Amino acid sequence: MDARLRHAGLTAIRDKLDAGIRLSFDDGVQLFACDDLQAIGWLANREREKRHAGRTYYNYNLRLEATNVCVATCLFCSFSRLEPGAPQAYTMSLEEAWDKLRSRANQPLTEVHVVNGLHPDLPFSYYTELLQGLKVIRPEVHLKCFTAVEIAFFADLYGKTDEQVLRELMEAGLDSLPGGGAEVFAERVRRKICHDKCGADRYLDIHRIAHRLGMRSNVTMLYGHIETMEERVDHMLRCRALQDETGGFQAFIPLAFHPENNQMRKLPPPTGTDTLKVHAVARLMLDNIPHVKAFWIATGLDLAQLALWYGADDLDGTVQEEKIYHMAGSNTPEAMTTAGIARLVRAAGREPLERDTLYNIVNVPQVVENQGVSVGL
Ligand code: V47
């Protein structure tokens, strides 16, 4: 690999990584500009294996998107509907939302992941009661709910501070925050694709507060639309800077842009090479965030497997009932079983481990000879 790294102009970056020296903004831009995907992947895989060897994490989770009514007009979104009565707009009653969990009483779920549109008319009690009810149904299940964008929206709509909203939701059962809503932090991009939702500084501040209150969270980056390579690196460095302060991010999740049924449908989707490169560069730049997640719904199953050799060590989970990507043209399955994910991971030459939201191992799937993988659930 030495000759290859030299040829790709990556020896200085390799040397920095060897010496434990942080990569700079310019290093990040250079990595994105480099055409030798194998060389970048080799470096990223080395960092991945230093942290996790071949271990690859996933969880048994459920998506709950209780409403798609949303006052924000993000150009990339195929899920939201502006008005409550618009075609395909929906808002679940609390009973309907709780039923989603009740009807899975037989599933050994460890997480419910809730993301909603920014609904202008629901009372705050809808969200607190939603959480309380989910906890009554399954007290042991971790509730990872509401993006920082939703938290900011609640604060503005209900006249509370961001911290008050977080505290009241925690009181009702909130355990951690998902990473959605980050998109690309650069002001230029936000002004164009998501001008009417909370800005980068507030997004990061809400995660800062959540971490101070004792919660963990994830952070995402929506890539493959109008952002420049410099803006991607800037985004990663802002995540890294907050992580230096708080240590509260668990995973960085690159989200591949899906162009169907939204206002940016003229753009092509990101290529496979770009997807692998984004995961790899994230692993190299984000030396302080433990996990890089290849969200299989967004990447597709084949690329998710490959990404496990390009810096990623996590695949998200069984998901179930995902709407945001499927309405934007994702042709991945709507759900995976834990056995299916374990099989996928093993087929990629990696070691599957079922985790809970906080990365405690809950199941080590056993290989059953001639039958692929059994998860013993
Ligand atoms: O914030 C919306 C993205 C996000 C499109 O925290 C789109 O564990 C691509 O945040 N094409 C929501 N992306 C999903 C999300 C997430 C996913 C997996 C795990 C976690 C976690 C969080 O989906 C939104 C937005 O960035 N999105 N529309 C689209 N057309």
User: Per residue in 105-114, pLDDT tens?
Assistant: 999 999 999 9
Residue nearest to atom 14 of ligand 1 (CA): 180
In angstroms, what is the span from residue 261 Cα to ligand 1's centroid?
15
pLDDT at residue 117 greater than cutoff 90? yes
Whole-number pLDDT of residue 370: 47
The token duo for 331 is 């042709």
Whole-number pLDDT of residue 366: 85
| Residue showing tokens 């420049």 | 228
Q: Using the atom order of ligand 1, give the atom closest to the CA of residue 328.
A: 30
Q: Using the atom order of ligand 1, give the atom closest to the CA of residue 180.
A: 10
In angstroms, what is the span from residue 36 Cα to ligand 1's centroid?
28
- Say how far apart CA 315 and CA 301 lie, in whole Å: 10
Helix (H) or strand (E) holding 46: helix 37-52
Output the CA angle 220-231-154, nearest 5 degrees.
Answer: 45
In angstroms, what is the span from residue 118 Cα to ligand 1's centroid?
15
In angstroms, what is the span from residue 31 Cα to ligand 1's centroid?
24
Question: 224, 189 in Cβ contact below 8 A?
Answer: no
- Say how far apart CA 347 and CA 100 lie, in whole Å: 32
Where residue 335 falls among pLDDT bands split at 50, 70, 90?
Answer: confident
Q: Using the atom order of ligand 1, give the atom closest to the CA of residue 222.
A: 26
Report which of 307, 301, 377 is spatially closest to residue 341, judged by C-alpha positions.
301
- Mean pLDDT over 8-17 rounds to 98
- Say how far apart CA 232 and CA 63 lie, in whole Å: 27
DSSP string, 208-270: HHHHHTT-EEEEEEEESSS--HHHHHHHHHHHHHHHHHH--EEEEEEEE---TTSTTTTSPPP
- Say how far apart CA 84 and CA 183 lie, in whole Å: 25
In angstroms, what is the span from residue 148 Cα to ligand 1's centroid?
13
> Would you call 306 helix, strand, or coil by DSSP?
helix
Say if strands 361-363 and 176-177 run parallel, antiparallel, or are unpaired.
Answer: unpaired
The token duo for 128 is 């607190």
Q: Using the atom order of ligand 1, give the atom closest to the CA of residue 179.
A: 6
Percent of the chain with pLDDT over 70: 97
The token duo for 187 is 């002001």
Which of 116, 183, 324, 359 for mutating ligand 1's site (highest number of atoms within 8 Å of CB)? 324
pLDDT at residue 39 greater than cutoff 60? yes
- Say how far apart CA 114 and CA 328 lie, in whole Å: 18
**N-terminal to C-terminal alpha carbon distance within the chain:** 42
Where residue 122 falls among pLDDT bands split at 50, 70, 90?
Answer: very high
In angstroms, what is the span from residue 282 Cα to ligand 1's centroid?
17
Pocket of ligand 1, beta carbon within 6 A: 76-78, 115, 178-181, 183, 218, 220, 222, 253, 255, 257-258, 262, 295, 316, 324, 328
- Say how far apart CA 217 and CA 58 lie, in whole Å: 16
180 phi and psi angles, rounded to 5 deg: -65, 165
Distances (CA, A) of 129 to 165, 225, 278: 14, 37, 38
- Say how far apart CA 159 and CA 242 lie, in whole Å: 26
In angstroms, what is the span from residue 196 Cα to ligand 1's centroid?
17
- Mean pLDDT over 173-188 rounds to 98
In angstroms, what is the span from residue 17 Cα to ligand 1's centroid?
30
Residue nearest to atom 16 of ligand 1 (CA): 180
Whole-number pLDDT of residue 368: 61
In angstroms, what is the span from residue 75 Cα to ligand 1's centroid?
13
pLDDT tens digits, residue range 243-265? 999 999 999 999 999 999 999 99
The token duo for 89 is 């707009």
Say if strands 314-317 and 55-59 run parallel, antiparallel, or are unpaired.
Answer: parallel
In angstroms, what is the span from residue 180 Cα to ligand 1's centroid?
5
pLDDT tens digits, residue range 268-326? 999 999 999 999 999 999 999 999 999 999 999 999 999 999 999 999 999 988 898 99
Helix then strand count (H, E) for the chain reads: 15, 13
Domains of the chain, first to last:
2-376 (3.20.20.70)
Report which DSSP code applies to 28: H
Q: How many Cβ atoms from other residues are within 10 Å of residue 27's Cβ?
A: 20
Helix (H) or strand (E) holding 118: none
Where residue 83 falls among pLDDT bands split at 50, 70, 90?
Answer: confident
Say if strands 55-59 and 351-355 run parallel, antiparallel, or are unpaired.
Answer: parallel
Which of 68, 220, 253, 314 for mutating ligand 1's site (highest number of atoms within 8 Å of CB)? 220
Question: 28, 237 in Cβ contact below 8 A?
Answer: yes
Percent of the chain with pLDDT over 90: 92
Whole-number pLDDT of residue 372: 45
Residue nearest to atom 12 of ligand 1 (CA): 180
Whole-number pLDDT of residue 178: 98
Residue nearest to atom 10 of ligand 1 (CA): 180
- Say how far apart CA 135 and CA 174 lie, in whole Å: 9
